[in-house]
Amino acid sequence: MSRRVSEQTTSTIANWQENIKQLLKSASSINRVVLVGVGHPLRGDDYVGSQIVKTLAEHVESQLPDGVYLFDAEGDVETIVTKLADTAPRHVIFIDACEMKLRPGETRLLSIEETSYPFFTTHGIPLKVLAEQLLPKSRAWVLAIQPKQIEFSEELSPEIRAVSASVSRFLMGILEEEESAVVD
């Protein structure tokens, strides 16, 4: 599931936290934002995106702010295509392991247009193609996390496990903050 990010990428958003925060704070019933976890549970660090969304679902799904949705695609993005399209999101943020030639755990928020995927991927449909063809009215992003290893394993490496926990805490904080702002 680890995708390769083009070396020509020049507008990598280094401050991903602030940009994710702005996207999530913009969510409303007409400006929907969907977080999609992607990753195969038997490919080590590749599972990080699914792990993050599963953690969010366990802790905040029943109290998500209006306009924020969570989907866990695991290794089969095609299974959620219909649900994703029916949601009609303004923004889709795929959380996924991506080969960026960085240190394990480094994280970037990339516009889907900035990515380049090899013809053969572990997804049936590469995320870029899915976004371009099936979500033409949505702005698609990838919260890309550099994996350490994607060999057969049911475990995240210690570095990626720590990043998964950190990203999950960060996102939970934003979602809980937005939910309490609606209640107040």
- Give bridge partners of residue 145 from the DSSP assignment: 97, 107
Place of tokens 């590469």: 126
Does residue 176 have a pLDDT over 50? yes
Closest CA to 73 of 46, 122, 36: 36
CATH of domain 3-183: 3.40.50.1450
Q: What is the domain partition of the chain in residue ranges?
A: 3-183
User: Mean per-residue pLDDT for 36-44?
Assistant: 92
* pLDDT tens digits, 123-160: 556 676 667 666 768 888 999 999 999 889 899 999 99
- For β-strands 68-74 and 33-38, DSSP reports them as parallel
* pLDDT tens digits, 85-94: 889 999 999 9
Place of tokens 């366990």: 58
